[in-house]
Amino acid sequence: MSAASALPRSGDRSDDVVAVRADGPPPVRRVRRNPVTWVRRGGLSTLVFALPVLVVFGVFSWWPIVRSVVMSFQKTNLVAPATWVGWDNFQYVLTDPDLPTAIRNTLYFALLALVIGFPIPLVAAVLMSSVKRLKGLYSVLAYLPVVVPPVVAVLLWKFFYDGSADGVFNTILGWVGLGPYAWLSSPTLAMPSLVVEATWAAAGGTVIIYLAALIGVPGELYDAAEVDGAGIWRKVWHVTMPQLRGVLFITFILQIIGTVQVFLEPYLFTGGGPANATLTILLMIYNYAFGRSLGGDYGAATALSVMLAAFLAILSLIYFKLTSSWSKS
């Protein structure tokens, strides 16, 4: 049967449903779309309900993305008319001597955030889900840092990280004979210091996600494991982790995307210093656009943004491709 024969004939009464194949596997029945059936089946009301979201996304997300891509091929100061410059902005960014440093630092931040920041919320959630009393209190305590405004949190931690001997952390470490450490003024300690604060600030949100996922783990699985003689760690490894796999995949990629786009901490803590030790890609983008009082190189900023977005999109695709095959296996 040819594809053409599957097309509905004019005057066919059964215009709602068309048999795609008459032989072979069970026939696939496809809904034939026309404006009348679309309206009758609630398409219009769906569109009306979706319209506000589409407008908001269009205006505040998709349009800026399109504009960014366009701007990456332009020279503009947002006042005078823009001029097309082809690939100049990309060439300018790719030959920036600071770019390798920024990429290295960003990957270092992402790696540290994974090593420090990924296991902590998971362990905390598992422990919190096993306690019987004051579970709510622990949840509140875990989530509290998330409700502290990020700028306030950074300023607070900046105070903690005071490099003098009477700084908060240095005082505490001094009680056990350690320090003082320069923290934010040390090229080696600055980045780990930022990651510790970022983990503190963000872990609460992830803990809540894990706790919610843990509620969905059937209790019978733990009972069965217990009958089989499993201890707490075997239960975690053989029951909890597999059950959380889907959530873990999502939080993992979200964390990668989030940490590669780190900006707030290096901007507020160190401004990218000392000696570019915390210069990240996002900070470079900001510096291109706004770092110079005399206005921004918005073309270079958007060119780097586009490249970063493309990299993350490709990374996400590869990741989901891999994890979907793992999930099936």
Partner 1 sequence: MKSPRITLAFTLVGALALGGTLAACSSDSGSGDGDKNTPSATAAPTLDPNTKVTLNVVGLLPGSTKEAQQALADEVTEFQNQYPNITVQTHDYEWKATTFAADLAGGTLPTVFEIPFTDAKTLIANQQISDMQGYVNQLSYASDFNKNLLQYGQGPDGDVYAIPAKSIYAVGLHYNRDLFTKAGLDPDKPPTTWDEVRTDAKAIADKTGQAGFAQMSQSGTGGWQLTVDTYARGGRVESEDGKTATLTNDATKASLQFLQDLRWTDNSMGQNFNYDWAGINQAFAAGKIGMYTSGQDVYTALVQANNIDPETYGLTMIPLEGDNSGVLGGGTMAAVSSKATDDEKAAAIKWIDFHYLRKYTNEQAAVTNAKTQVASKQPVGTPELPIFSQAQYEKYQGWIKPYVNVPLDQMTGFTSKIFDAKLVNEPATATQDVYAALDPVVQAVLTKKDADIDKLLADANTKAQRAIDSAGR
3-state secondary structure 275-310: CCCCCCHHHHHHHHHHHCCCCCCHHHHHHHHHHHHH
Which residue, 248 or 265, is less far from partner 1 as judged by CB? 265
Check residue 229 and report its DSSP letter.
T
Looking at the Cβ atoms of 114 and 189, the one nearer to partner 1 is 189
Cβ proximity of 126 and 214 under 8 Å:
yes
Nearer to partner 1 (CB atom), residue 247 or residue 277: 277
Nearest distance in Å: CB 305, partner 1: 15
CB of 95 to partner 1, least distance (A): 8
What's 58's DSSP letter?
I
**Number of alpha carbons in the 13 Å side-chain half-sphere of residue 5:** 5
Taking the complex as a whole, the smallest distance from the CB of residue 175 to partner 1 amounts, in Å, to: 18
We find the least distance from the C-beta atom of residue 94 to partner 1, in angstroms, to be 13
Alpha carbon distance 48, 19 (integer Å): 31
CB of 62 to partner 1, least distance (A): 21
Which CB sits closer to partner 1, 164 or 325?
164
Residue number, 89 or 261, with CB nearest to partner 1:
89
- The DSSP letter of residue 184 is G
Nearer of residues 63 and 290 to partner 1, judged by Cβ: 290
The dihedral built from the CA positions of residue 217, 218, 219 and 224, taken in this order, carries a sign that is negative
Q: In this structure, how many other beta carbons lie within 10 angstroms of the beta carbon of residue 196?
A: 20
Own/partner contacts of 280-286, CB < 8 Å, gap of 24 or more, are 280/102, 280/105, 280/106, 280/109, 281/102, 281/103, 281/106, 281/308, 282/106, 282/308, 283/102, 284/96, 284/98, 284/99, 284/102
CB of 236 to partner 1, least distance (A): 42
Least spacing, CB of residue 80 vs partner 1, in Å:
6
Q: Which residues bind partner 1 (CB under 8 A)?
A: 75, 77-80, 92, 97-98, 162-165, 180, 182, 184-187, 270-271, 273-276, 287, 289-297
Exposure on the CB side of residue 206, measured as CA atoms within 13 A: 27
263, 282 in Cβ contact below 8 A? yes
Separation of CA 302 from chain center? 20
For residue 230, the surrounding DSSP H or E stretch is none
- Residue whose CB is less far from partner 1, 162 or 203: 162
Of 121 and 272, the one with the shorter C-beta distance to partner 1 is 272
User: Which residue in the block uniquely carries the two structure tokens 């009393």?
Assistant: 133
Residue 159 C-beta: closest distance to partner 1, Å: 12
